[in-house]
Amino acid sequence: KPFAIVWVQLSNHRLGLLGLRRLRASLHPNYLSNLEAVHVVHPSWAVRILRVALWPIAEDDYWERFHSHERVEFLDSHIDTRQFRLPKDIYEYDKYLDKQAMEINDQANKKFGGGGSG
């Protein structure tokens, strides 16, 4: 039966290249053949760099199977989030990241005298 993996990264839990290799190696070949996609939520810098490095050389099939999402809400286009529910603390972490981004934006606006966007 086809399935997808959703790997949520928090500030203390990051996925690097070694983690990706371990994940792949841990899957039985029958499961691996039914894997439709891997979705990484809150991607680490390692995941972002990997995606940029592979962009010019990876096959289209790779990009159809390996997705990166900045927030949980962006999973909606790939996964029915009404049926697939994540723990509450992951949604709270999303809110924390939004708040942190707004604070950084406010600090930059104060420091450089720019107008806010939003």
pLDDT digit string (tens) for 29-48? 888 889 999 999 988 888 88
- Would residue 56 count as lying in a domain? yes
Residues 53, 97, 40, 83, Cα dihedral to 10°? -150
Cα–Cα distance, 69 to 4 (Å, whole number):
14
What is the H or E stretch that residue 38 is in?
strand 35-41
Burial of 65 (0-12, 13-18, 19+ CB in 10 A): middle
Look up the pTM and report it: 0.76
> Residue 111's CB: how many other CB atoms inside 10 A?
8
- Identify the domain containing residue 66 by its residue range: 3-84
- Is residue 74 a part of any domain in this protein? yes
In a domain, 106, yes or no: no
User: Does residue 108 belong to any structural domain of this protein?
Assistant: no
95 pLDDT above the threshold of 80 = yes
pLDDT given at position 92? 92
Number of domains in the chain: 1
What is residue 57's predicted lDDT score, i.e. its pLDDT? 93
Q: Where are the beta strands (DSSP E) in 51-117?
A: 66-69
Per the CB < 8 A criterion, the answer to whether 34 and 3 are in contact is yes
